[in-house]
Amino acid sequence: MATTVAAPAAAPPAAGTKVRHAWTQHGLLFVVPFLAVYVAFLVWPVILGVRMSLSSVNIAGTNDGFVGFANYAEAFRAPLMWRSLWNTLVFTALSTVPLVLLGLGFALLVHHLRFVQWLWRLSFFGPFLLPSAVVSLLWLQMIYPPGYGLINGTLGIDVLWLGDPSVAMWAMVLTTVWWTVGFNFLLYLAALQSIPQHLYEAAAIDGANAWNRLRSITLPMLGRTTALIVVLQLLASLKVFDQIYLMTGGGPQDSTRSIIEYAYDTGFTGYRIGYASAVSYILFAIIVVVSLAQLRLFRKRAEGSS
């Protein structure tokens, strides 16, 4: 008959001695490659950008003398910087609301359709896959040209969509909504498909109509998705650059120049990398403030609803 002998319990470490863990015990060895890439391509550029914003360095890397906060003070005194920042805020306000509402509306439509759903999904999401250069050429050559453009020809009007300062920003918003609404549509569609069907069945038994089911079940269940989409949309709109740079170059009369384009022109056309870095960090501070305020607002609403 075999006899089992219990192994003696490990003695606790003596008081005052440090316990040494193996390198792999907490998975540190596995995250080292990621940390190395993260530090090299994110943390170090951020630190380097702050240093450059406090200097007068040019695009050639010379004349990098320390100037303190002079670049920031100059940016706050520059009328064109304030005009560009205002254009960015206007674009954000005009584009965020339709992008969220249309994304939700398209997702609800496709979710309830019972035929050729793949075609509707492709139709709404397809434009989002196009590069910004293709989108810009499409709208420049086919949609907006005066005289023979699709909109002017269809409606029988003659509007300089990209040449009139009072209309150009609306044209950029329309292009952006057509191009990027597919991303919000996809997020909403995935969230709709995750709502349990028994909630709708129970509501139908209680006599709830379609509007009541939408208001009492669908929209509350999409609350977290909506918060995520609004945050992502605000961040994307505040960083608008590609389509504006390619289609109008900031014109006419600086009516569509965004803050990112202002920093780009200052750095790569005016060769003032230090000043452009300061403008970029002003935008970075605005984005951080908006993100924190929005997250706090959504957190309060979630706590209130719970």
pLDDT in tens, 289-304: 988 888 788 777 777 6
First to last CA, the chain: 62
For the chain, how are helix, strand and coil distributed in percent, rounded to 5?
70, 0, 30
Whether 237 shows a pLDDT value over 70: the answer reads yes
Task: Check: CB of residue 280 under 8 Å from CB of residue 49.
Answer: yes
State yes or no: pLDDT of 241 exceeds 80: yes
- Written as six digits, the tokens of 23 are 């390198």
Q: How many CB atoms lie within 10 A of CB 113?
A: 12
C-alpha of 81 from chain center: 22
Q: pLDDT (tens digit, 9 = 90+) per residue, 192-218?
A: 999 998 898 898 888 888 888 888 899
pLDDT at residue 19 in the model: 56
Joined together, the tokens standing for residue 37 give 């890439």
Give the integer Cα–Cα distance in Å for 169 and 256: 6
CA distance 220 to 96: 20
Q: How far is CA 2 from its chain centroid?
A: 68
The per-residue pLDDT for range 73-100, each reduced to its tens digit, is 999 999 999 999 999 999 999 999 999 9
**H or E segment to which residue 189 belongs:** helix 168-193
> What is the per-residue pLDDT for 2?
43
Residue 51 and residue 303: Cα distance in Å, rounded?
41
pLDDT (mean) for 35-46? 92
The CA angle 163-169-173, to the nearest 5 degrees, is 125
- Phi then psi for 55, rounded to 5 degrees? -130, 175
Average confidence score pLDDT of the chain: 87
> Residue 5 pLDDT more than 50?
no
CB 247 within 8 Å of CB 162: yes
CA distance 174 to 139: 10
The predicted pLDDT at position 13 comes to: 56
Model confidence at 59, pLDDT cuts 50, 70, 90, reads confident
Q: What is the pLDDT of residue 104?
A: 94
